[in-house]
Amino acid sequence: MSAATITQPDTTATEAAPTTTSGDTAPGLREGAFGNARCLSCRECGHEVELGPHYACPECFGPLEVAYDFPAVTREEIEAGPRNIWRYKALLPVPTDIEQSPNTEPGFTRLLQAHNLGRELGLDKLWVKDDSTNPTNSFKDRVVACALSAATELHAKVFACPSTGNLANAVAAAGARAGIKTVVFIPSNLEKPKQVNSAVYTDRLVAVDGNYDDVNKLASEIAGEEEGWAFVNVNVRPFYAEGSKTLGYEIAEQLGWRLPDQVVIPVASGSQLTKVHKAFRELVDLGLVEDKPVKIFGAQATGCSPVSSAYKSGTDAIRPVKPDTIAKSLAIGNPADGIYVLDICRETGGAVEDITDDEVRQGILLLARTEGIFTETAGGTTVGVLKKLVETGQLDTSLETVVINTGMGLKTLDAVADEVGPAATIKPTYAAFTDAGIV
Ligand SMILES: *Cc1c(COP(=O)(O)O)cnc(C)c1O
Ligand SMILES: [Zn+2]
């Protein structure tokens, strides 16, 4: 894809919008549009491409990733920043004045020590990174904020995505706030609450008869045909994906600038897991935390577990599957970053594990009843996998562990609606209450 697909030729360049001729960025972009990012670099062959709406290596079709020239960054500078992801703007592909652009200001969510859940599972030191409190109640607000910045700098006219639900919510909300036209595509069988959570922000919600992989294919086709569209997870994916690094930065900062020993992360495309790992490495390289081994674990639902299957069978090849699980936000049958998840989990001494839909439901209830956090099916998957990793001895219970809750239970109420409810329905009398034997 050429840069021209998004960037409109700037025939009226003014002093207010200087264009760069340095060769680092596509024509028509202002200086510093991507902060300290230097170029896009191929994850497979290392080939470098100028910063722009590119996502596949022209040499080998491998995925492109943002590469940087980081300046010296101190803990104090970060701590003096805003209480959202822009405190890490020096480490993201965004301009230094990013706070000035209207955005949803996601991030800096709570890291809670989970004494009760830890005791229940036999873990000495357990933390929950709770991303359900982001502006649209999932971690997707982080990645979308970075994609919005790239779309803005590339002069995109339309902000769009194929989505399993949460991404559409985040894109629709961020687009509304930024005043850019949004078009979001979802599988037509998506949970009603997730549909409503997009449709309130945009009247261009498109339900597609097909699964996520079908929706994704359609998005790639539109991105190739239409001018000026920024598909957050397609043609600006390298910029989008970097937003997930902020989860890793925050975990380290909130632990008092140190890394945990083990992290359990849900896997859909696998992007988040690879970026949390990248974030930890960057913090070590920048001297912001001490180096130490961190085991990374991936969580999937059995009904869509291509990465876990490959991990267990000891192969490097991910065999795509047709998803069939209540964990719809994780239901990507052909995960783009699956092979990198395998590499990272194997190299760090972690694992990839999967659990049944019933265990997903139990995972939701376990977190709710031990920590007062209502997670969606993705978090139920992650907590359920954490439990299974302990029970199967794959996770070291003496090590400090962080489990990431990426979403909010109110979006997937149906998953547990039949499991819970009133203990009794009684007449409004004291006698009726005592008769019911509730306490
Ligand atoms: C998208 C999503 C994920 C997984 O993200 P990937 O980066 O695609 O692996 C996890 N949890 C929730 C709630 C999500 O919406
Ligand atoms: Zn390449």
Assess whether 290 and 236 both reside in one domain: no
What mean pLDDT do residues 160-179 have? 96
Residue 24: per-residue pLDDT: 53
| pLDDT value of position 207 | 96
Question: Does residue 344 share a domain with residue 201?
Answer: no
- What pLDDT is stored for residue 338 in this prediction? 98
CATH number at residue 220: 3.40.50.1100
* Nearest by Cα to 98 from 204, 242, 276: 242
Q: Is residue 82 part of a domain?
A: no
**Is the minimum distance from the CB of 304 to ligand 1 under 6 angstroms?**
no
| CA distances from residue 16 to 157, 228, 235, 284, 422 in whole angstroms, order as listed | 20, 22, 27, 38, 62
pLDDT of 310 > 60? The answer is yes
Q: Is residue 295 part of a domain?
A: yes
Does 146 lie in the same domain as 129?
A: no
CB 407 less than 6 A from any atom of ligand 1: yes
Of 242, 210, 74, the C-alpha closest to 144 is 242
Query: 230 is written with which tokens?
Result: 């920024």
Q: How confident is the model at residue 17, as a pLDDT?
A: 38
Domain boundary, last residue among 199, 214, 240: 240
Q: Is the pLDDT score of 19 beyond 50?
A: no
Residue 19 lies in a domain: no
| Mean per-residue pLDDT, 216-222 | 94
Proximal ligand: closest to the CA of 41: 2
> Do 382 and 314 fall into the same domain?
yes
In a domain, 79, yes or no: no
pLDDT surpassing 90 at residue 359: yes
Last residue of a domain, one of 240, 258, 291: 240
CB-ligand 1 contact for 266 (6 Å cutoff): yes
Residues 253 and 377 in one domain: yes
Ligand 1 center from residue 407 Cα (angstroms): 8
> Among 179, 149, 163, 273, which residue's Cα sits nearest to residue 218?
163
* Token pair in block for residue 56: 């596949």
Domain identity same for 186 and 220: yes
For the residues 89-100, what does the mean pLDDT come to?
97
* pLDDT score of 16: 40
Q: Same domain for 390 and 407?
A: yes
pLDDT at position 191: 83
pLDDT band with cut points at 50, 70 and 90 for residue 439: confident
- pTM for this structure? 0.94
Q: Residue 152: which domain range? A: 140-240
Residues 128 and 145 in one domain: no
Both 262 and 186 in one domain: the answer is no
CB of 134 shorter than 6 A to ligand 1:
no
Region class of 256: left (phi > 0), else alpha (psi between -120 and 50), else beta? left
In a domain, 87, yes or no: no
In a 3-state reduction of DSSP, which class is residue 131?
helix
Ligand 1 atom 5 nearest Cα:
268
The band of 323, judged by pLDDT with boundaries at 50, 70 and 90, is: very high
Question: Does the residue 436 lie in any domain?
Answer: no
User: Which listed ligand is nearest to 57 at the C-alpha?
Assistant: 2
Cα torsion 112, 280, 73, 81: sign: negative
pLDDT tens digits for range 111-153: 999 999 999 999 999 999 999 999 999 999 999 999 999 999 9
pLDDT digits (tens, 9 = 90+) for 30-78: 999 999 999 999 999 999 999 999 999 999 999 999 999 999 999 999 9
Q: Does residue 128 fall inside a structural domain?
A: yes
**Statement to judge: residues 361 and 216 lie in one domain:** no
Q: What ligand has the least distance to the C-alpha of 330?
A: 1
Centre of ligand 2 from the C-alpha of residue 238, in Å: 14
Residue 208 gets which letter from DSSP? E
186, containing H or E segment: strand 181-187
Count of structural domains within the chain? 2
| Domain end position, chosen among 225, 240, 255 | 240
Ligand 1 centre distance from Cα of residue 337 (Å): 12
Based on the fold, state whether residues 210 and 287 are members of the same structural domain: no
Mean residue pLDDT across the chain: 93
- Ligand 1: which of 272, 332, 342, 404 to mutate, most ligand atoms within 8 Å of CB? 272
Query: Which of 280, 286, 254 minimizes the C-alpha distance to 265?
Result: 280
Which-ligand-closest: CA of 276? 1
**Any domain includes 374:** yes
Tell whether 272 and 373 lie within a shared domain: yes
Assess whether the C-beta atom of 138 lies below 6 angstroms from ligand 1: yes
Q: What is residue 4's predicted lDDT score, i.e. its pLDDT?
A: 38
